A and B are shown apart, each in its own frame.
Chain A
């Protein structure tokens, strides 16, 4: 039963990521990404990490992607990238994707294999995660939050500058 659910979710997840890349319409790409995030949430839930599952859905599917789609629908881009820019964006994105792929492969090879059940069996309740975040991982947690705030302030500053011109 669980293995069936796993295959259904992972097929939908990989399929929707492919759909996101192939789709010409940005709005459809964003919607495919939402589907992929929701399936990822389901997979986290199956691993016995309900908190991760729900946070995945609230933050990625429920908040970030809504803003993405909001902007895409407001701007309504039809043309895409112009042909002269297309050449070098293609080159740059090829290089970046090869680097990311290499990183991913090394990361996966570097992690010791873990049995399916042991991966998330302990410490997945909200209390455990909260305790870890505020003791062992306090500095990474605080630094990440400062980073996010800096990004927010930066975005506001950029928008304000354009208004003055």
Chain B
């Protein structure tokens, strides 16, 4: 019984973390874009006259979205039109289950892993759920019965299918280096040291794989410079016929994808919750210093390290989104099929050669 209780607590905590971070990412995006464009950004939302840099803005946005009219066009296929945003939200939200937040903790003789679903196929589970997220896009465009929406969803499906190939292939080299698909094991393997002092993070062992994964994952989030399914300035995109809360779900899906991509980049290439030279007993620096820390402090440091890494990648993705212009459709396909896929195949070959030496 306690196992189910612990599981429920973990699920609730992970979802709360995910949704709160999503809400504040909308605020961070508005502020960061404002700084880039020399504006002030959202700063008016207040509670009793207190407005700390507009930190209450996400809640105001959420309340506005909830109370908007729930509009379903008469010409749409109503059931699928309603189902689509929930599908795309669900398949992103469920991926958080496979992400490890920290090392195992011990409470009253029980070992609890800070991860909801620790399967031996964790990495494939995340990829599977992200690939099912395409159905949200396809169904929303098709069920809307609107030409622009259908165009957007067809572009989206083509783009996501193309970049999924590069996304999967770029990870093969990483799986060869840390021979496991279990995300917790991949993170543990990154805790070892290269040459006795250098953290064995994925980015140092698989630099090419990291770059390919970064580009492919950026394309999977469907934001500028890869925002062809949306194309704000030309076709509005697959959610053209949505409003209110359902449109809000699509927007939240976007931001949640940013977070999941950041979490994956952190977990696979930047050591997950690992802090360099921090083991369960405390810091052990390669030059001989030791700094003993209690187990709770170590866990807190690890979770904080995971969060900081995720924040840095979220910030990087927002920076990219507000810096680069959109790719043309042929450039998009060329980048995916003619550059990223051959490079990732080369990466697999190179990794295999180096490992067999």
Contact surface of A with B, Cβ cutoff 8 Å? 27, 31, 34, 38, 50-51, 53-55, 57-58, 61-63, 66-67, 69-70, 73-74, 125-127
Task: Other than A27-B142, A67-B161, give 4 A-B pairs with Cβ distance below 8 A.
Answer: A31-B80, A61-B131, A62-B134, A69-B142
The 8 A-B residue pairs with the shortest CB-CB distance in the complex, in nearest-first order? A62-B131, A54-B124, A57-B128, A58-B128, A50-B121, A54-B128, A54-B121, A70-B157
Whether B158 and A70, one on each chain, are in contact in the complex, defined by CB atoms closer than 8 angstroms, is: yes
Residue tally, chain B, CB below 8 Å to A: 25
CB closest residue in chain A, given B80: A31
Chain B residues with Cβ below 8 Å from A74 are 154
B150 at the interface (CB under 8 A from A): yes
CB closest residue in chain A, given B153: A73
Shortest CB distance A53–B (Å)? 8
Whether A73 and B154, one on each chain, are in contact in the complex, defined by CB atoms closer than 8 angstroms, is: yes
Chain B residues with Cβ below 8 Å from A53 are 121
Whether A62 and B138, one on each chain, are in contact in the complex, defined by CB atoms closer than 8 angstroms, is: no
What are 10 A-B pairs with beta-carbon distances under 8 A?
Answer: A31-B139, A34-B135, A38-B132, A51-B124, A57-B128, A58-B124, A58-B131, A69-B138, A70-B157, A126-B121
Shortest CB distance A73–B (Å)? 5
Alpha-carbon distance between A49 and B114 when the two chains are bound, in angstroms? 24
Whether A66 and B124, one on each chain, are in contact in the complex, defined by CB atoms closer than 8 angstroms, is: no
- Which of B120, B138, B161 makes the CB contact (< 8 A) with A125? B120
Whether A61 and B125, one on each chain, are in contact in the complex, defined by CB atoms closer than 8 angstroms, is: no
Whether B181 and A126, one on each chain, are in contact in the complex, defined by CB atoms closer than 8 angstroms, is: yes
Alpha-carbon distance between A2 and B151 when the two chains are bound, in angstroms? 42
CB closest residue in chain A, given B142: A73
B127 at the interface (CB under 8 A from A): yes
